[in-house]
Amino acid sequence: MDAKLFKVSAVCAALVLAGCSKEETAVDTTDTTAPAITVSNTSPSLNEGARIEIPFNVLDQGTEYSNLSITLDSSGTTGDVTLDKANKVIVYQAPWLTSEKSLSDGFSISARDQAGNKSEEVSVSITVQDIESGVEAEIVAPSQAFGYENTQTPTALNMWIYEGESQVRFKYNLSEDDADELEVDFNVVEPFFKNNFTAEMGESGESFTLVSDIPRIDEPYADTLLQVVIQDNDTTVQLDANIVIINKVSMAWAASEDTFISETNGAMFSFTHSEESDYDAEVAVDVTYADGSPLDFPLSYSLEGNNVVFEPSDGFQGDRNVKLTVSMTNTIPGNGGETFVERVELTRNLVVSDDRDDAFISKEAEFQEYVAHYEDLKEREEDVRVAKVLAQYWMLNDYITFVEKNALVSDVENLLAEEVTELETQITAINSKLNSGDSGEELSGEIDDFVGSVKGMGSSVREKLYEQFSVIKEKTDVTDHQVPSIASTATFVNDKLTQYAGNSTYGYFDKSAGDRWVFSEKYAYLKSVDVLDEYCM
């Protein structure tokens, strides 16, 4: 081999060997230094529900930070803990404490480099403190309660409520800054009201409601205390509802169609009420004109048990329209130092009949008065209007046919027309005698007959309706309404003569609505002829 060529080859071989030796040295080099991890605060303290960021840092000789593997061990941690590697912070969200005053919580953090070297674990011990925030509560008055407005506070109500009210709801609003468990207890002082309540929890847990039906009582009133105690981990709150239950007395006239007080013989009107005979209440009687103004003529009356007795009287000319009022009153105390006057009254429109006049002039005045009432009744045609309403209802409910409905309406119109003709004949005859100067007993009798006819005007229509209703009832089970009474007589309401409004056969005056006249359910259709409603006249 040429010596020069060998030398070159040896140099190349040496270079190759040198290169191979360098690569083997890089692979065998090992980093044995573990990362160093530091945490800025290893024993922080914070309130329940609070959030804290804890900075940390990791250093390693051979591995860039971004390539380090950082492990957060929160397996036994109660709160929520997360690692924000990019920003080098540990985020800890403290739990809410339900019953503890404090909680010891914690976690650990460690790091590992690319060479597999692991740092020591750094433990962080956290103390979570209970917020000293007591529960706040507010009682809300039931919709049926009243009289509490002047004395109420968030934790106390002094209220009145009527017996027999159903589904009375006592709502309690709750507010709390922490998450303590709440213990709620309630108690009712008076035995008659115990075990009547059921509890309902609000969907969000921010309220609860106690629901009860108010019992009926025998005495004028009864008081009780509904006491609610709420406890959390910090405080105790007591809420008191002082309840005075009021007896709701109902009154009614004893069955009677009489609406007259005889000047000669007087009269007696009886009433009933819903309580026992020994019920303690102030019962009073008052007689005024129909508009409430005081009487300006002598009229003696007295209360005897459940009877109002009118004595014979004299000293006035012509009939007088009056209103008889019987009331039962009790003064109800309240726990807030206030009082409430519970007054229930019963009214009846009457006519004081001037039947002891020596002069015929009063009889003539009575005749003229009833001629005016007749003209008003003729114009209003209230019985025909009632018949049309009933006929339409019967037809729509298939009690009668369309043809029968039209026939019925035609019949009642003809019947009323016959009554009008008869009354016109009476008016003409009486006027003729008056114009001739007649003032005898026979004429007085004719006037009385005329007055009676006016008061009973429409009776033939009512009889026809009764006959038709009887036929319907034989074929079907009708229970939702009744037809007008044949035997009823007209009464005075707002200076108008009517068969319906103000007649206790068909309804009542609602005291809770300012004496508004209300027709009973089975006579609701009579609203169409309510002379107390200006839109129905």
- Segments in 261-360 forming alpha helices (H): none
| Residues with Cβ within 8 Å of residue 385, at least 6 apart in sequence | 528, 529
Residue 74 maps to a domain: yes
Considering just the CA atoms, what is the radius of gyration of the chain in Å? 48
Residues 261 and 404 in one domain: no
- Position 360 scores a pLDDT of 67
pTM: 0.48
- Closest among 396, 521, 415 to 463, alpha carbons compared: 415
Please name the helix (run of DSSP H) or strand (run of DSSP E) that holds residue 378, with its range, or none.
Answer: helix 361-380
Residues 87 and 189 in one domain: no
Residue 11 maps to a domain: no
Residues 377 and 515 in one domain: yes
Domain CATH for 280: 2.60.40
DSSP 533: S
Residue 397 maps to a domain: yes
Residues 241 and 256 in one domain: no
Over 90: is that where the pLDDT of 287 sits?
yes
In a 13 Å sphere around the CA of 458, the CA atoms on its Cβ side amount to 27
Q: Which range (6-15, 64-73, 153-162, 260-269) has the least confidence? A: 6-15
Residue 384 maps to a domain: yes
Over 60: is that where the pLDDT of 43 sits?
yes
| Residues with Cβ within 8 Å of residue 302, at least 6 apart in sequence | 285, 308, 309, 311
Residues 416 and 512 in one domain: yes
Strand-pairing partners, residue 252, are 272
pLDDT tens, residue by residue, 326-377: 999 999 998 778 899 999 999 999 999 876 554 566 788 889 999 999 998 9
Q: Are 491 and 259 in contact (CB under 8 A)?
A: yes
Chosen domain end from 246, 267, 293: 246
Residues 296 and 381 in one domain: no
Query: What mean pLDDT do residues 13-28 have?
Result: 38
Residues 396 and 505 in one domain: yes
Q: Which range (82-86, 485-489, 526-530) has the least confidence? A: 485-489
Split into its structural domains, the chain has a count of: 4
- Closest among 512, 386, 524, 521 to 457, alpha carbons compared: 386
Residue 18 maps to a domain: no
Domain CATH for 102: 2.60.40.10
Residues 267 and 347 in one domain: yes
Q: What is the mean pLDDT of the chain?
A: 86
Residues 72 and 97 in one domain: yes
Residues 53 and 124 in one domain: yes
Which residues constitute the domain of residue 144?
136-246
Residues 240 and 255 in one domain: no
Over 70: is that where the pLDDT of 170 sits?
yes
Residue 80 maps to a domain: yes
User: Environment class of residue 21 by beta-carbon count within 10 Å: exposed (0-12), middle (13-18) or buried (19+)?
Assistant: exposed
Q: Which range (170-174, 236-240, 371-375, 489-493) has the least confidence? A: 489-493
Q: Are 140 and 173 in contact (CB under 8 A)?
A: yes
Over 60: is that where the pLDDT of 18 sits?
no
Chosen domain end from 113, 129, 145: 129
Query: What mean pLDDT do residues 234-259 have?
Result: 88
Chosen domain end from 183, 215, 246: 246
Residue 343 maps to a domain: yes
- Position 535 scores a pLDDT of 53
Residues 382 and 523 in one domain: yes
Quick check: helix, strand or coil at residue 267? strand
pLDDT tens, residue by residue, 377-405: 999 899 999 999 999 999 999 999 999 99
